[in-house]
Amino acid sequence: MGKNTLNLNGGLYEYLLSVSLRDDPLQKKLREATDKLEWGIMQISADQAQFMFLMLKLINARQVIEIGTFTGYSALVMARALPEDGRIIACDIHEDWTNTGKQYWEQAGVAHKIELRLAPALETLAQLVKDGHSARFDAAFIDADKGNMLNYYEYCLKLIRPGGLIMIDNVLWGGSVADRNINDDDTNAIRATNRFVYQDERVDISMVPVGDGLTLARKR
């Protein structure tokens, strides 16, 4: 005991949630609606969202980039962590998914903080750099197609300020990253990103075993 991260089994995860998850009816409703969708499993867990909320609060984030908005759950929670004049540039290509999110953003009164960009995220990110927004953002959340994970990371590193935070989702990929017999493109792309970020001296890092694994990288 003490040297390894605890296994959250045998009711321990339920205990953790029972004394730490501060849920909200609207967030719960969106989670449940998303769970019913074909790709509902892509949604981040409620405790991970709360962790990200806290991270944004800790760094006083005002400007955030989200890559992979899906049905808008993480954008909803992150927007609530931002001040009234805060802004999330939310990147996705699936309007049917983001339309779900929009309804909830409006109900929560945070829609004015979320600027949806329906285009391939690499195009949106390149445009932000071109428009002179480098080092203007406080944080980024990367949670989209895994083949581009490293490209998204590079753009985000450019767009956030020194001291800003990049959060990369799915870095443990259901455990696949540690299984040598699994060598599909997504798993390999995640492994490559993990190795790269590990050796990247431009950032301070921690890989947090929350949800499906979340890397925190703070720009030096």
Residue where the block lists tokens 């001291």: 163
> Which residue number, 94 or 133, has a Cβ lying nearer to Ca ion?
94
> Which residue number, 41 or 178, has a Cβ lying nearer to Ca ion?
41
> Which residue number, 109 or 174, has a Cβ lying nearer to Ca ion?
174
Q: Least distance in Å: CB of 143 to Ca ion?
A: 4
Binding site for Ca ion (CB under 5 A): 143, 169-170
> Which residue number, 34 or 170, has a Cβ lying nearer to Ca ion?
170
DSSP per residue, 93-143: S-HHHHHHHHHHHHHHT-GGGEEEEES-HHHHHHHHHHTT-TT-EEEEEE-
Q: Least distance in Å: CB of 15 to Ca ion?
A: 25
Residue nearest to Ca ion (CB): 169
> Which residue number, 110 or 214, has a Cβ lying nearer to Ca ion?
214
Q: Least distance in Å: CB of 166 to Ca ion?
A: 14
Q: Least distance in Å: CB of 127 to Ca ion?
A: 24
Q: Which residues contact 149 (CB under 8 A, 6 or more apart)?
A: 142, 168, 189, 190, 193
DSSP state, 84? Answer: T
Residue where the block lists tokens 């409703």: 29
Q: Which residues contact 135 (CB under 8 A, 6 or more apart)?
A: 158, 159, 160, 161, 162
Q: Least distance in Å: CB of 82 to Ca ion?
A: 21
How many Å apart are CA 164 and CA 219, to the nearest integer?
6
DSSP state, 45? Answer: P
